[in-house]
Amino acid sequence: MIDTASTAPEIEAAKPELAVVGVGSVEQHAAHLPVDTDHLIATRAAPQVAERLGALSLPALPYSVCLEHRGFAGVVCLTPDTVRRIAWDIAESVGRWGVRYLAFLTFHGGNFILNPAAREWNMDGRSPRIFFVDFYAGLSGVGDNLHACEVETSIMLHLAPERVHLERAVDFVPTWRREDLTVLGMRRVTPTGVWGYPTRGTVEKGRRWLEEGIAKSTEKIAHLREGCETLG
Ligand SMILES: [Zn+2]
């Protein structure tokens, strides 16, 4: 496993072509999960994805774009321009010592900016190629769960049970759609900050969803890398 606990000569000798960065967030997760839930999951899951790919594991970003959560305490938000700049700065840095593919693996849904940021960079023909992958995309059996929900609560019960206050969890599903958050924000559509069914969370579901997310993210990144190699 090559990561930032390695020395510079060790990294140089390993010549990693692919690097993986988890993207967390510091934002409200209702009354039953900590505000660093996304970051904690990123720090635990992204290195496993990197390891399976034989990639360099870079430290997860604690902050990202969570504008939709403004109005709740505990929210620390970067603006989209900042996150685009960070993504490009990391790409520019790792490209100098041979990394050809840089995957941003996001554990928070509001980081839409990473998609146009990656697209603009890549279509300009710049190196390394930036991949933007959503850890939660394509998980099975998610249903109406979006935030501080059955999925996140389960994964936290699996990874850090001492930080889950399940007795305070309250289920709530807004009548709005996810894209309406762009206009309304979370505060208006959910009084508690929950979107989904946290009371249905279990350790076993968390173990399964985490493994599925790691497997699918690994597969997605490998597929993109293969596309770059075969299509040039
Ligand atoms: Zn979250």
CA 42 / ligand 1 centre spacing (Å): 10
Average pLDDT over residues 17-22: 98
Distances (CA, A) of 126 to 104, 187, 228, 230: 16, 39, 13, 17
CA 79 / ligand 1 centre spacing (Å): 18
CA 183 / ligand 1 centre spacing (Å): 20
Predicted confidence band of residue 51 (pLDDT cuts 50, 70, 90): very high
Mind listing the pLDDT tens digit for each residue in 99-118?
999 999 999 999 999 999 99
Predicted confidence band of residue 130 (pLDDT cuts 50, 70, 90): very high
Average pLDDT over residues 134-146: 96
CA 95 / ligand 1 centre spacing (Å): 30
CA 223 / ligand 1 centre spacing (Å): 26
pLDDT at res. 58: 98
CA 41 / ligand 1 centre spacing (Å): 9
Does the structure show a pLDDT above 90 at 232? no
Kindly report the average pLDDT of the chain as a whole number.
97
Spatial separation of the C-alpha atoms in residues 180 and 190, rounded to whole Å:
12
CA 16 / ligand 1 centre spacing (Å): 30
CA 19 / ligand 1 centre spacing (Å): 23
Are 106 and 95 in contact, with CB atoms under 8 Å apart? no
Predicted confidence band of residue 1 (pLDDT cuts 50, 70, 90): confident
Average pLDDT over residues 34-38: 98
Average pLDDT over residues 212-231: 97
Spatial separation of the C-alpha atoms in residues 129 and 131, rounded to whole Å:
7
CA 228 / ligand 1 centre spacing (Å): 31
CA 30 / ligand 1 centre spacing (Å): 10
Are 179 and 232 in contact, with CB atoms under 8 Å apart? no
Predicted confidence band of residue 200 (pLDDT cuts 50, 70, 90): very high
pLDDT at res. 127: 96
Residues having C-beta closer than 5 Å to ion ligand 1: 37-38
Spatial separation of the C-alpha atoms in residues 211 and 185, rounded to whole Å:
30
Does the structure show a pLDDT above 90 at 137? yes
Mind listing the pLDDT tens digit for each residue in 68-89?
999 999 999 999 999 999 999 9
Does the structure show a pLDDT above 90 at 194? yes
Nearest to 98, CA basis, from 22, 19, 2, 6: 19
pLDDT at res. 201: 98
Nearest to 150, CA basis, from 30, 232, 35, 63: 30
pTM: 0.97
